[in-house]
Amino acid sequence: MARISKLIVDSSVEAGDKIVTTNVSDQSSKNIKISQIEGYVYGVQGDRRMPIISQLDFTTVEPILVDGARYINTVAGISVSGINVNANSIYQGVNGKWNEIVPVTGWMVWDKYLSKNLIFDGNLWNLDNSGNGLVTWSMSQW
């Protein structure tokens, strides 16, 4: 079996390509498609960014609820489905419901639609033109 550390990655890697994963609990191996994990991993080491699909106004157009999908809501009010939503909050589908994630100043996300990093300045999400952020996101911050 090829070691991941020796894999040469180039522009030919696609969503349908498979990688080998290992289950931590029983050490079993499994092949999975890149597309199955691309919404969870962007960057490496301390350079991880929480991916979002796009920025939307949930009060006029609410996306189809899919577990794991994340969006930044742009307008405060009542969403199309009748939930209170806050501007600039990230909404993630969890167990068939929208879960609000309130951003912290310095958080950076990867906007898949724009193919750009966004950084939260405490009031608004802005394009990150510097190439780095004040604080990067990690799962432990939730």
- Whether this prediction's pTM lies above 0.75 is answered by no
Q: CA angle, corner 37, sides to 36 and 39, nearest 5?
A: 105
What share of the chain has pLDDT > 90, as a percent?
A: 42
Q: For residue 94, what are the β-bridge partners? A: 97
* DSSP sequence for 108-139: EEEETTTTEEEEE-SS-EEE--SSS-SS---G
pLDDT at 14: 65
The reply to whether 105 falls in a domain is: yes
pLDDT tens digits, 44-90: 444 557 889 999 999 999 999 999 899 999 999 999 999 999 999 99
Clarify whether residues 65 and 131 are in a common domain. yes
Give the Cα separation of 51 and 102 in Å (integer).
Answer: 15
Domain count, the chain: 2
Residue at 3 is within a domain: no
Give domain status of residue 2, yes or no. Answer: no
Q: Are residues 69 and 93 in the same domain?
A: yes
Same domain, 33 and 102: no
122 and 89 part of one domain: yes
Last residue of a domain, one of 5, 21, 42: 42
Q: What domain range includes position 109?
A: 46-142
